[in-house]
Chains A and B, each alone.
Chain A
């Protein structure tokens, strides 16, 4: 009994620790997000939050629903792998509301040179050019129609 009396303070200490533990468990139960662990060791709601982001690029299939003529022209030329928004920029807003949102065509000189300016690191066989000597001061699309850029007889003026 004397032993017990002499260790009473340790029992109180243990009590404090137990209280702390209980508090911790309560905190953990109440404050952990509900969806945590639903699909794995993360907050399940995050998936929905991340997927809910609105898209900026509509994707060429959506463009082609309305603009099938341009799509057909492009499909037979050298730019067949170039998707619409690659040049025209993100147009989901336009697809959503074609009447009000009008796409702005980028500046031709900057646009074409981004891909076609001469660079030693570009793959062999990829059409590259030194713009100035080639164009004689004219914009690229004076001779090369962007939707079908190959030069036909009579294109060069």
Chain B
């Protein structure tokens, strides 16, 4: 669609206003955002994921994720018959370029997007020697790139494999739940890019957030519940074979 100059001049103020809130700064000083009013989580619907990799690409572009490392990735599962404890899993380049067709071998096949679970009782922040990885008051687990020593204890402690050592920053790095976006009223890059709505940002403190109704009406799981990490990454229809 091409706009003539008059149309642009009319629309510009509206766009600017829409854009202004996007550019608002500090979460604790921003008049639009109060940390105490939010408790962030994420919902991933396995029944909707098509393994297109848009989320992986979007995250990489939004957050300058270095090649070969992943803040989020997709795994493809193949479960043959009753062998729930021995699935075949692959994740070519984290699913960034989608997946090759795959063998037509029956059984059960599905995609599982993975990312930081932003655990309430995260083992990563427990082991950090200096407090460089921490919980924000609104429930996001972050890394302080100007304080991290790069000891990599947190990477060892994460049961989900969502952390990596940034080759340029020489600190730990991981999904930030697009903190720089959600504190400005936007959704995360992965949710924005997901074409099927398989990924949805959830504000657990917001009574109107659709997550509450969803949790009540669907069979929802978290990864590795036996480790009691307090994961806030909820999966709809997560198969028992998923590691």
Contact = CB atoms under 8 A, between A and B. Distances in A.
Asked whether any CB of A lies within 8 Å of a CB of B in the complex, the reply is: yes
Interface of A: 33, 36, 39-43, 46-62, 65-67, 69-70, 79, 81-83, 85-86, 89-90, 92, 95-96, 98-99, 113-115, 117-123, 126
Interface residues of B, number: 68
Contacts of A118: 101
A48 B28 CA distance: 8
Contacts of B53: 114
Interface stretch (B153-161, B182-190, B227-235): B182-190
B14 interface: yes
Contacts, number: 174
B26 interface: yes
Contact of A46 (B18, B98, B142): B142
B4 interface: no
Contact of A51 (B25, B54, B97): B25
B226 to A, nearest CB: 26
Contacts of B77: 121
A142 to B, nearest CB: 20
Contacts of A99: 8
The interface centre, meaning the residue of A33, A59, A79, A82 with most chain B CB atoms within 10 A of its CB, is A59
Interface in B209-227: none
Contact of A66 (B11, B27, B61, B145): B11
Contacts of A56: 61-62, 189
B137 interface: yes
9 closest residue pairs by CB, A with B: A42-B134, A53-B180, A121-B109, A46-B144, A82-B195, A115-B52, A42-B131, A41-B131, A56-B62
Given A42-B132, A58-B22, A81-B197, A51 B27 contact: yes
A5 to B, nearest CB: 45
Nearest to B193: A86
Contact of A62 (B19, B52, B111): B19
Give the secondary structure class of A's interface: loop
Given A49-B146, A85-B192, A117-B101, 20 more contacts: A36-B131, A39-B28, A43-B144, A47-B26, A48-B27, A49-B144, A50-B179, A51-B184, A55-B181, A57-B62, A59-B181, A66-B3, A89-B61, A90-B61, A90-B62, A115-B50, A115-B54, A120-B105, A121-B102, A126-B196
Contacts of A48: 25-29
Contacts of B51: 119, 121-122
Contacts of B144: 42-43, 46, 49-50
